């Protein structure tokens, strides 16, 4: 048996998995941000709870894996910089003792999601896969030759910070023109705000006012569905940037599948179909159309499963 932990800025979720990566059960609790001791205690308590739910003794668990947002050191299982968690330099190596006397592994949450989809989701049956998560930011993970690829410094896969527009919009990473600045949910909102500032009628103005002056990516999709021309123009611009980044990934890595997850993936085929069309148009002459663009299948469970399987 294996345990996976999805450690997020809002919730901490712990799941019990089989050795093959099947999720048996999970339990969660609000994350105690800024409280390392409380967080470690919650993780241990939840690990014991999922074992009890399935009648599994702690000594039957052969490993624990944790997916974290932020910077970390794998070797010491230490979160070095966790802005969303409001804590730095926190070690999780001993967090599950004394009940769980097994190895504890740590990796980026997007990498865990990629590994989860590869093992039990949309990436089953391939050897090379790119995971793209479209949320507040744009994250990703790389599966190359059947293995999670994290590079020399364990931070490879930050695909959102590939530049798609030289000297373009500023990004939170400090660079300009990053893929994330255009193709995340935040990026879609920025494109919409710029379009509204240029003038013209749009349902988005009323939606924004009703939401306390805050525009959201889902509103752009909803307005487009309602026939709003400004929202449709924003969406088309968004799709062009998204497809540009995907074509770059195809040119560099030649994956068999690109798996798209995150909140914006909820727009489903209304997003995927026009993106596929632009990808085909943007392929290099030497490219074959083997990179299949598909939606993620596991939702939030992907991170739990991937974390549990980190030492695979």
User: Within this chain, do residues 135 and 105 fall inside the same structural domain, yes or no?
Assistant: no
- Span 162-175, average pLDDT: 91
| Model pLDDT, residue 76 | 93
Question: How would residue 289 be classed by pLDDT, with cut points 50, 70 and 90?
Answer: low
Q: How confident is the model at residue 282 (pLDDT cuts 50, 70, 90)?
A: confident
| Whether residue 212 sits in one domain with residue 108 | no
Give how many domains the chain has, as a whole number.
2
Task: Indicate if the pLDDT at residue 287 is higher than 60.
Answer: no
**Is residue 121 included in any domain, yes or no?**
no
pLDDT at 285: 58
Question: In this structure, are 108 and 180 located in the same domain?
Answer: no
Q: Are 95 and 143 members of one domain? A: no
> pLDDT digits over 39-64, tens only?
999 999 999 999 999 999 999 999 99
Residues 69 and 213 in one domain: no
312 has pLDDT over 70: no
- Kindly state whether residues 12 and 95 are assigned to the same domain: yes
- Let me know whether 81 and 206 are in one domain: no
Whether pLDDT at 286 is above 60: no
Q: Do 52 and 190 share a domain, yes or no?
A: no
Mean pLDDT is lowest, of 43-47, 76-80, 100-104, 152-156, for: 152-156
Can you give the residue range of the structural domain that contains 287?
126-295
Average pLDDT, the chain: 93
Give CA torsion, residues 131, 5, 148, 19, to 10 deg: -120
Residue 25 belongs to domain with CATH number:
3.30.420.40
Q: Does residue 248 share a domain with residue 219?
A: yes
């Amino acid at each position: 048996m294996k345990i996976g932990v999805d450690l997020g800025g809002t919730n901490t979720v712990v799941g019990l998995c089989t050795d093959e990566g099947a999720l048996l059960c999970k339990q969660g609790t609000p994350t105690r941000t800024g409280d390392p001791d409380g967080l470690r205690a919650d993780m241990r308590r939840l690990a014991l709870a999922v074992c009890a739910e399935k009648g599994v003794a702690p000594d039957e668990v052969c490993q624990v894996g944790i997916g974290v947002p932020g910077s970390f050191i794998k070797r010491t299982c230490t979160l070095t910089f966790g802005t969303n968690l409001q804590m730095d330099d926190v070690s999780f190596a001993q967090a599950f003792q004394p009940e769980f006397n097994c190895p504890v592994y740590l990796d980026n949450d997007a990498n865990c999601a990629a590994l989860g989809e590869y093992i039990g989701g949309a990436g089953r049956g391939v050897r090379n896969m790119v995971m793209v998560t479209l949320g507040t930011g744009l994250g990703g993970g790389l599966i190359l030759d059947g293995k999670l690829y994290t590079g020399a410094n364990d931070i490879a896969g930050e695909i959102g910070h590939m530049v798609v527009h030289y000297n373009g919009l500023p990004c939170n990473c400090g660079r300009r023109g990053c893929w994330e600045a255009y193709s995340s949910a935040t990026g879609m909102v920025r494109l919409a705000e710029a379009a509204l500032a240029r003038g013209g009628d749009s349902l988005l103005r009323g939606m924004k006012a009703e939401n306390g002056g805050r525009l959201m990516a889902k509103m752009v999709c909803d307005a487009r569905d309602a026939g709003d021309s400004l929202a449709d123009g924003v969406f088309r611009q968004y799709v062009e940037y998204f497809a540009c980044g995907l074509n770059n990934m195809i040119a560099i890595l030649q994956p068999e599948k690109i798996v798209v997850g995150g909140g914006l993936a909820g727009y489903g085929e209304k997003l995927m179909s026009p993106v596929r069309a632009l990808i085909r148009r943007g392929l290099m002459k030497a490219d074959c159309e083997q990179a299949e663009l598909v939606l993620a299948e596991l939702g939030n469970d992907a991170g739990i499963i991937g974390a549990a399987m980190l030492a695979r």
